[in-house]
Amino acid sequence: MAVIQDMMPAFELFRPARLDDALELMARYGESAWALAGGLDTFDWLKDRIKRPEVVVDLGAISEMRGITADGGGLTIGAMTTLTEVATSPEVVGSFSLLSMAAAHVATPQIRNQGTLGGNVAQDTRCWYYRGGWPCYRAGGNICYAAAPKAMNREHCIIGASRCVAVNPSDTAPALIALDAQMVIRSANGERVVDAEDFFMSPAVDITRMTVLEPDELLTEIRIPETWSGARFYFEKVRDRQSWDFSLVTVASAMRVSGGTVQDARIVVNGVAPVPVRVTEAEAVLIGSPADEAVGLAAGEAGIRGSKPLRHNDFKRPLMRNLIRRAIRGREA
């Protein structure tokens, strides 16, 4: 007879009102602490009793981690700013609509009202073997169940696998990489800034983490430079259901076009690898060329070169190729 666990494990809850207090708590408790943002990833882990932190640090009362501020021609967005605020902000929509589109594609309105930008990029992978408590590589074991010959792996990697074949689930991450954003990380010992492209952790480097955040650190804000302000943007997310569902493949792109020729471009895909992937091979085909159908086809083929599908996800190769093509021509269908 199955044993139903209907209560979260016990933990001590702190709700600091200042960032410095939160950082002190993270430093004091280290790996025993869990930072709570919107809670949408957190509560799944706790309800399933897979994660058992001794301390939960609720960041919801820290006003200095919220808000969107114009910074020269760019923006600074607090990590605790809700996805709804990001999706509807006049500053984001006006200059960096790629990010507003990405935020608007996250789950449902109710979830976007609660979920935060920082939480969306820092969430853990959705691999059901890992989240079901199976002792896989990512959980500290010695096997990847999703890569086994008869595994169910329709939603998993086609590129970048290294023992683990789980994918990054964030909708906003590819948009932030395309916009060349910077992630501001703070601890009690100071501040460091990393490019969004380098914020996500490859399993080849550390298979137990999705980001570069250390146990005593918090992502406090995201800085978007003016570099891509007003560029030609494209975002598309393909999923099984049009509401709530996680991505099968997502593309986000930013292009500068002058005289019919692409001067610069950043194309990022997600849902195909353990980290959001900047498709530099496709960018190389595109830059210096017209953004037409022939170039789009060539860039799409370049983007999927070297991909290695699993048993059930070969469909991701043509899907990724076609999304790159559509991003270049700037429209669907």
| 121/101 Cα distance (integer angstroms) | 15
Ranges under pLDDT 70 in the chain: 1-6, 331-333
| 111/40 Cα distance (integer angstroms) | 8
Question: What domains can you pick out in the chain, each with its CATH number?
Answer: 11-61 (3.30.43.10), 232-329 (3.30.390.50)
pLDDT digits (tens, 9 = 90+) for 242-299: 888 999 999 999 999 999 999 999 999 999 999 999 999 999 999 999 999 999 999 9
Which residue bears the tokens 């010959």? 149
pLDDT digits (tens, 9 = 90+) for 103-131: 999 999 999 999 999 999 999 999 999 99
Residue 200 in tokens: 């996500």
pLDDT score recorded for residue 244? 83
Residues 6 or more apart in contact with residue 173 via CB below 8 angstroms: 120, 121, 196, 200, 270, 276
Reference 204, options 274, 128, 289; nearest CA is 274
Amino acid at residue number 64: E
pTM of the model as a whole:
0.96
pLDDT score recorded for residue 6? 62
pLDDT score recorded for residue 1? 41
pLDDT score recorded for residue 332? 62
Residues 6 or more apart in contact with residue 99 via CB below 8 angstroms: 86, 92, 172, 175, 176, 179, 224
Amino acid at residue number 45: W
CB 71, CB 221: distance < 8 Å: no
Print the SS3 string covering the chain. CCCCCCCCCCCEEECCCCHHHHHHHHHHHHHHEEEECCCCCHHHHHHCCCCCCCEEEECCCCHHHCCEEEECCEEEEECCCEHHHHHHCHHHHHHCHHHHHHHHCCCCHHHHHHCEHHHHHHCCCCCHHHHCCCCCCCCCCCCCHHHCCCCCCCCCCCCCCECECCCCCCCHHHHHHHCCCEEEEEECCEEEEEEHHHHECCCCCCCCCCECCCCCCEEEEEEECHHHCCCEEEEEEECCCCCCCCCCEEEEEEEEEECCEEEEEEEEEECCCCCCEECHHHHHHHCCCECCHHHHHHHHHHHCCCCCCCCCCCCHHHHHHHHHHHHHHCCCC
pLDDT score recorded for residue 5? 57
> How distant is the alpha carbon of residue 150 from its chain centre?
28
